[in-house]
Amino acid sequence: KSEAVLALTLQHLKTDMTFNVITTHLPSGDEPKKELERLAVLNNPSARWTARRICFDDTSWKEVPYENNADFVGITSYVKYFAQRKDTQTIFALDANSRPSFPPIKPASSSSETNVWGTILRDTGLESIWVQSSYLEITGEPFNPKKPFVVSVNKMRGPSSNQPSKIGEHQLELIDHVFTNGTKSKIVTSVALNSKELVPTAPLLYKSKEGEAELNLYPSSNMPSDHLPVVVDISLETHTHVSLLHFTQL
């Protein structure tokens, strides 16, 4: 089994401003060994990593090498490569399958304990939109202690699930993330489906796993996914331009 990450560099035609959008999907599972598996995808110098770069040269798409013979040892080093480029801004969106409060654990590539949340913040230098928008502290703890469950997933698998070990388990957690070096971000709290219905977006806030959360599981008739969409306005700034990017992670 192998994991992948995709980066796309876009250019605004009127201002020539560029920004990088990077995405990936980390392995799932709530056991400590699964967090170790996710951490190995983020940073594992002993693994074999292959990076390919395709650019358009006015006539055709061609594969070209990365600048300065860049050497990647995992997804976070790849994201950092883009985040450190001059005169551009970066957005890293992913289904991390790991909540910010996941108990820290010591991976083989580190001398200290960490988790996916802490590793991405430390290794990439990016900020979380959940922190910028005052839903979480930088430690991953909820900003509002009266509603400690900040979530992008509220689901319970039924008897026809192809993951029988998870049937009946109430998953109420924040595992969808967007990190950026944009100057600020603002969460869009709902999207109009039509004149009568609003589609809820992440994050939703709950006091506990009981009661209201149990009565509003997803998928539903107006949200056919088990993950709520993350919709955010991100301010991107270079030396000469400031613009607002409306970004949606589905």
Q: What phi, psi does 189 have (nearest 5°)? A: -85, -10
Number of residues written out for the chain: 250
pLDDT averages per 10-residue partition of the chain, 250 residues: 86 88 95 96 89 89 85 94 92 97 92 96 97 97 96 91 85 97 92 83 96 93 89 77 55
d(CA 152, CA 128): 14
Signed CA dihedral, 215, 216, 221, 226: sign only: negative
d(CA 115, CA 101): 8
The answer, yes or no, to whether the previous bond of 203 is cis (omega within 30 of 0) is yes
Instruction: Indicate the burial class of 44 (C-beta count within 10 angstroms; 0-12, 13-18, 19 or more).
Output: middle
Q: What is the reported pLDDT for 244? A: 56
Q: How many CB atoms lie within 10 A of CB 102?
A: 22
Tokens standing for residue 100: 């910010």
Tokens standing for residue 178: 């967007």
pTM of the model: 0.91
Q: What is the reported pLDDT for 2? A: 66
